[in-house]
Amino acid sequence: MKPLKTVWITHSDPYKDFSDASKFGEVYPIVQHLPRSYDTTDMVVALRRALREYEPDDYFSPIGDPTLSGICMSIILETYGTINVLKWDKRTSAYILQVWTMEQSFTTADD
C-alpha cells in the first residue's frame, strides 16, 4: 500500500505549475512525453500498463491532450467504476475535486 495518495497527470509539462495539485498527493505523470502518432491500440496498452499502480482513492488531473486524458479516464472508470478528477479552475487558480462514477447519467441543457 502506498503511503501517500497520487495525483496522476496525463503527461509531464515543465511549463505548468502543479504545486496546488500536490496538496492532494504526489504528482506523477502517466507518460513522460506525448506520443507523436496515434496508434490507439498501442496507446491503450501502454496507458493500461502505466496505470497499473493507480489506486481507487488516487486523483486524476486531465491536462493537455484530450485523447490521452479520455483514454486514461476510461481505463480508470472501467477498472474502478469511479474516478477522483482534479479540475483546474482558472477563476480561483486552484484544483477542484469532482468525483465521477459510472452510474451517473450525464444530460445536456436540451434534455
pLDDT in the model for residue 102? 78
CB 71 within 8 A of CB 30: no
pLDDT in the model for residue 108? 44
pLDDT in the model for residue 104? 58
Angle between helices 40-50 and 66-80 (to 10 degrees): 60
Sign of the four-CA dihedral 62, 68, 74, 80: negative
| pTM for the predicted model, two decimal places | 0.83
| Tens-binned pLDDT, residue by residue, of the chain (111 aa) | 455 799 999 988 888 899 999 999 999 999 877 666 666 778 888 899 999 999 999 999 999 888 889 999 999 999 999 999 999 999 999 999 999 987 755 544 455
pLDDT in the model for residue 23? 93
pLDDT in the model for residue 19? 92
- Tell me the three cell numbers of residue 95: 484544483
Q: What letter represents residue 79's amino acid? A: T
